[in-house]
Amino acid sequence: MTSTNASLRSARERTASKLHAGECLSRQELAEAVNTHLWHQHAQRVELDGHYIAKLERGVIRWPNSRYRAALRAVLGAGDDAELGFRAPRRGVVPVPGRLVTPWDVDQVNQAARTIVRGQHQYGGWWMRDAALAQLRSSAGLLDGECPAELARPLRQALGDFAHVCAFMCFDTGEHDEARGLFDLALRYADLAGDEGARANALASLSRQATWLGRPDEGLTFADQALVAADRLTAARRAMLFAARARALGALGRVEDTVRAVGLADEHMSHADPELEPPSMRFYDARQHSGDTGEALAYLAALGHRVDDARTRMRVAFDDGTDSYARSRLLAQVKLASLAMTTGEPVEGALLGVAAAQESGSVRSDRVLDSFRMLDGHARRYRGLGAVAELRDELRRTCG
């Protein structure tokens, strides 16, 4: 059972409304003030509303992400998180004081992360999500144990990888605030471990999420932060980051910069050696690279640039996909269908979209559903075509 956050509600009710003399700050006003603060301080565009503040006050959300907490403190004049009733979640399992952390413990965290990431690649982010989050909280309890010096870094690396896996699951299921908090946690673990590669992975995912949410400026910033350490990263990680940079630039409509970033991504990928990559980078193969760079070029294709190149890359990502990466293959197929729609090939797009919808049953992913909805939006302009009408009927059955 959740308990209400009386401290936050009291702080809001003590703050005077700027719109209505003699009244306290409403939930909606507070939400809008937080939105304004985040825009002024971080150039981060969010759309919190009164319903979100209500969830905070009811205790449904006990630990919003760090930027939201800082904004709430600033708006309400609070000195710290505790003054607003915010407390970090208690870990699910706390080791007995003095319990010695062993190599077996670290291996179990790594095994859990690998198992979860394999499942979500195949079945989508909803697969075992709640169990994964519970296991992450439990695993974090190892930090309260007695850890030998030689295991301190491997433990933080393992926890960072697991936090990143859970963050991406939340991103894939539309829980973007929780995803952001977990990506930040993965960054903190990477910093504690001094692991530039893990830091690059987390920043690449933050870039992907920001661009997906329509904040490409923020996505570009995350990619550039990671590229500061490019000389200390493997070739595949450099390729991944330049692809992330290209996606953000493409979303911004910066044609020449996007093409340049794709070229650099390709150059680094040509030097990638799978044998030199850690397990957390095994997903970034030629297929994934083609999909990421194809997605960047798809933004340009909608403007009439690099259409054939975008199609070729997205086709590779789709054709070379396997059941082990069913979610990525499905996303590539839907994006290829959207690309066909936006570049004047509605029948091809409809056929690809119908096939994708009919094959999507085993994957539970909000990103896939959002991609289907975007495809439906592109299809509206061709709704007089029979193939497109069939597609839209199929999408209504799939998306509900």
343-366 confidence digits (pLDDT tens):
999 999 999 999 999 999 889 999
pLDDT of res. 41: 78
pLDDT of res. 92: 47
pLDDT of res. 50: 86
Q: Is the pLDDT score of 99 beyond 80?
A: no
pLDDT of res. 366: 94
Distance between CA 117 and CA 165 in Å, rounded? 6
Segment (H or E) for 360: none
Give which of 366, 303, 301, 337 is closest to 126, Cα–Cα. 366
Distance between CA 131 and CA 73 in Å, rounded? 32
Give which of 335, 346, 347 is closest to 374, Cα–Cα. 335
pLDDT of res. 292: 97
Distance between CA 143 and CA 287 in Å, rounded? 37
* Rounded mean pLDDT, 287-291: 95
Torsion of CA 320, 323, 328, 329, to 10 degrees: 50
Q: Is 278 exposed, middle or buried (0-12, 13-18, 19+ CB in 10 A)?
A: middle
> Rounded to 5 degrees, what are φ and ψ at 249?
-65, -40
Q: What is the per-residue DSSP string for 224-254?
A: HHHHTTGGGS-HHHHHHHHHHHHHHHHHTT-
Domain positions in the chain are 6-84, 97-194
Q: Is the pLDDT score of 90 beyond 90?
A: no
Distance between CA 30 and CA 28 in Å, rounded? 5
Q: Is the pLDDT score of 154 beyond 80?
A: yes
pLDDT band, residue 381 (cuts 50/70/90) = very high
54-89 confidence digits (pLDDT tens):
888 888 788 888 888 999 999 999 888 889 998 876
Q: Is the pLDDT score of 341 beyond 50?
A: yes
Give which of 85, 328, 60 is closest to 177, Cα–Cα. 60
* Rounded mean pLDDT, 226-252: 96
pLDDT of res. 321: 66
pLDDT of res. 373: 95
Q: Is the pLDDT score of 308 beyond 90?
A: yes
pLDDT of res. 302: 92
What are the angstrom distances between the C-alpha of 273 and each of 59, 117, 233, 262? 48, 21, 12, 19
pTM: 0.75
* Rounded mean pLDDT, 190-216: 95
110-141 confidence digits (pLDDT tens):
999 999 999 999 999 999 998 999 999 989 98
204-225 confidence digits (pLDDT tens):
999 999 999 999 999 999 999 9
Q: What percent of the chain has pLDDT over 90?
A: 72
pLDDT of res. 145: 86
Residue 65 contacts residue 181 (beta carbons within 8 Å): yes
Q: Is the pLDDT score of 271 beyond 60?
A: yes
Residues 6+ apart with CB under 8 A from 165: 113, 116, 117, 120, 132
Q: What percent of the chain has pLDDT over 70?
A: 96
Q: Is the pLDDT score of 96 beyond 80?
A: no
Give which of 145, 238, 229, 222 is closest to 186, Cα–Cα. 222
Residues 6+ apart with CB under 8 A from 197: 233, 234, 237, 278, 280, 281
Residue 5 contacts residue 56 (beta carbons within 8 Å): yes
Distance between CA 233 and CA 375 in Å, rounded? 36
